[in-house]
Structure 1
Amino acid sequence: MEFLRPATWPEALAVKAAHPDAVPLAGGTDLMVEINFDRRRPERLLDLSRVPELRAWGPADRAVRLGACVPYRTVIDRLGAELPALALAARTVGSPQIRNRATVAGNLGTASPAGDAHPALLAAGARVEVASVRGTRAIPVEEFYTGPKRNALAPDELIHSVLVDRATGPQQFAKAGTRNAMVIAVCAVAVALRPEERAVRTGVGSAAPTPIRATEAEEFLAGVLAEGDHWTTGRPPPPAAARRFAELTAAACAPIDDVRGSADYRRHAVRVLARRTLDWAWRAQARPEGAPECV
């Protein structure tokens, strides 16, 4: 196995262009497990840990730019106010040791439907900035997932950073698993309220071949909130509307049976989590101190 370790971003792109089969290595929390268990034997590893700009993060217009090597620990410690759903999701990732190394970009590169970051990125609104020696492009996160563990990267491209819109209203995230910690999600749901736009966004993970947004549920709830002037008055949506939102969120899913849970259980759990995250987010919308963070 050849180990390639560029020191600059242009050098990394040149190496990837010369060796499109080289597998990027950042935190390594997924890749090294596959290698250690002999599930994968790439001919080349492309270690990106020495590229300084990939460890940088900061404001980018109305978004926050996260370099591809920024770990979840930074999101938790420094970005909870600006990216609340992503910070909540980050807290559910593995153990403290894993959170110190694992990255949002790594979650995107792996593109597992069960990745914890995906629902939060979908709900918040994110773009994946990718580059090659041919140039740079930004891919809306909805378009980045192309299938189970498949993404929109070309063979010669690398993820440079992730641009995540700063929250303009409450966001929530919840995850169901077979235990309370260090577990792969049976399903996960994120909800983001955008009062200035009178809009709602969702993200659902581990309940379809790729992470998804429940757009019909978003449009339904946004219509209810606008019609009833809920954004102005702070009144919660009617229970019937909250139930319908949860049902539409579950209906958007296409789950499977696997060792973590049945398709029927996943649909049920998505309904429960959709209604729960909506309730928490709306409490925070009406009374900012009133919503719990996560369960």
Structure 2
Amino acid sequence: MEFLRPASWEEALAAKAAHPAAVPLAGGTDVMVELNFDHRRPAHLIDLGRVAALSAWERDGDTVRLGASVPYTRIMTELSAELPGLARAAHTVASPQIRNRGGVGGNLGTASPAGDAHPALLASGADIEVASVRGTRRVPVDDFYTGVKRNALAPDELIRAIHLPAARGPQQFSKVGTRNAMVIAVCAFGLALHPDRRTLRTGIGSAAPTPVRAKAAEEFLTSVLDEERCWETGRAPGEAALRQFGQLASGACNPIDDVRGSAAYRRHAVGVMARRTFTWAWQALGTEQRRNGASCA
């Protein structure tokens, strides 16, 4: 195995172009496990640790550009206001040591449906910035996941950054696991309210071959919020509407039975988390609007 250590982004792209099968190594929290258990033995590793630009973030107007290697610890401490859903998800990632090393780029690179960042990225409507020596492009997160542990990256491309809208409303994240730390999600759910557009988005993890949105549930509840004038009045939808929202969210799943949970349990849990995360987010929106002395419009 050859270990490549580019000192700049340009050198990293050149190395990936020269060795398309090379495996990028940033935080290493997934790659090193596979290497240690001999599940993968690539001919080349590309260590991205010296590429400083990958560990920086910036806000440009209403958008946050998050470097692929910004660790979860910094997302929690520096971006909880701009990216509250992702910050909440970051709190649930493994242990402090892993949160100090791992970043969102690793979750996207491995594209495991159980990655904790995916529901928040889907709910916020992120774009993934990828690059090669041929140029740079942005991939909407909805199009990024192409199969079980597969993504839209070309063989010579690397993930450079994630572009996320700064939150204009409350965002929530919920995860079911066998314990509170050091656990892979049985299933997870992210939700973001977008009061400026009077809509909401969702994200589901570990309940289908890829991370997915519950689009039918989103459309249904968006219609209810409009028809019942919830945005204007601040009233929450009725219990029947929330049950339907949960059922539609469950219907977006295509889970499997495995050692962490049954398919039936995952569907049930996603429905419960959908109702809960919306309720928490709606309550937070009301609190925020009352604090600002504004309506919910």
Please give the range of the TM-score, normalised by the shorter of the 2 chains. Answer: over 0.9
Report the equivalent of 1:173: 173
Report the equivalent of 1:270: 270
Structure 1 residue 124: Cα displacement: 0.7
Quick one: percent identity of the two aligned structures?
Answer: 67
CA offset digits 1:45-91 (Å, max 9, x no partner): 00011011111101134211111111001100000011000000000
Report the equivalent of 1:182: 182
In structure 2, the residue corresponding to 1:160 is in which secondary structure?
strand
Partners in 1 of 2:289 and 2:195 — Cα distance? 17
Partner AA of 1:249 in structure 2:
A
Report the equivalent of 1:21: 21
Report the equivalent of 2:152: 152
Partners in 2 of 1:140 and 1:109 — Cα distance? 15
Partner AA of 2:140 in structure 1:
P
Report the equivalent of 1:109: 109
In structure 1, the residue corresponding to 2:209 is in which secondary structure?
coil
Partners in 2 of 1:238 and 1:53 — Cα distance? 47
Matches within 5 A, 1:21-170: 21-170=21-170
Partners in 2 of 1:286 and 1:59 — Cα distance? 26
CA offset digits 1:123-146 (Å, max 9, x no partner): 011010000000000000111000
Structure 1 residue 289: Cα displacement: 9.8
Partners in 2 of 1:117 and 1:53 — Cα distance? 20
Partners in 2 of 1:225 and 1:68 — Cα distance? 35
CA offset digits 1:192-232 (Å, max 9, x no partner): 11111001100000000000011110010010001111011
In structure 2, the residue corresponding to 1:65 is in which secondary structure?
strand
Tell which deviates more after alignment, 252-261 or 60-69.
Answer: 60-69
Partner AA of 1:225 in structure 2:
L
Partner AA of 2:286 in structure 1:
A
Structure 1 residue 182: Cα displacement: 1.2
Report the equivalent of 1:288: 288
Distance 1:114 1:289, change over 3 A: farther
Report the equivalent of 1:5: 5
In structure 2, the residue corresponding to 1:220 is in which secondary structure?
helix
1:219 aligns with 2:216: no
Tell which deviates more after alignment, 177-186 or 133-142.
Answer: 177-186
Partners in 1 of 2:123 and 2:269 — Cα distance? 18
In structure 1, the residue corresponding to 2:101 is in which secondary structure?
coil
Q: TM-score, normalised by structure 2?
A: 0.96
Partner AA of 1:142 in structure 2:
D
Report the equivalent of 2:293: none
Tell which deviates more after alignment, 60-69 or 277-286.
Answer: 60-69
In structure 2, the residue corresponding to 1:287 is in which secondary structure?
helix
Report the equivalent of 1:293: none
Partner AA of 2:161 in structure 1:
S
Partners in 1 of 2:119 and 2:52 — Cα distance? 28
Q: TM-score, normalised by structure 1?
A: 0.97
Return 5+ residue gaps in structure 2 as ranges: 291-297
Partner AA of 1:182 in structure 2:
M
Structure 1 residue 287: Cα displacement: 1.3
Structure 1 residue 236: Cα displacement: 0.7
Partners in 2 of 1:247 and 1:289 — Cα distance? 29
Return 5+ residue gaps in structure 1 as ranges: 291-295
Partners in 2 of 1:75 and 1:37 — Cα distance? 29
Q: CA RMSD in A?
A: 1.1
Partners in 2 of 1:289 and 1:61 — Cα distance? 22
In structure 2, the residue corresponding to 1:100 is in which secondary structure?
helix
Structure 1 residue 37: Cα displacement: 1.1
Report the equivalent of 2:203: 203
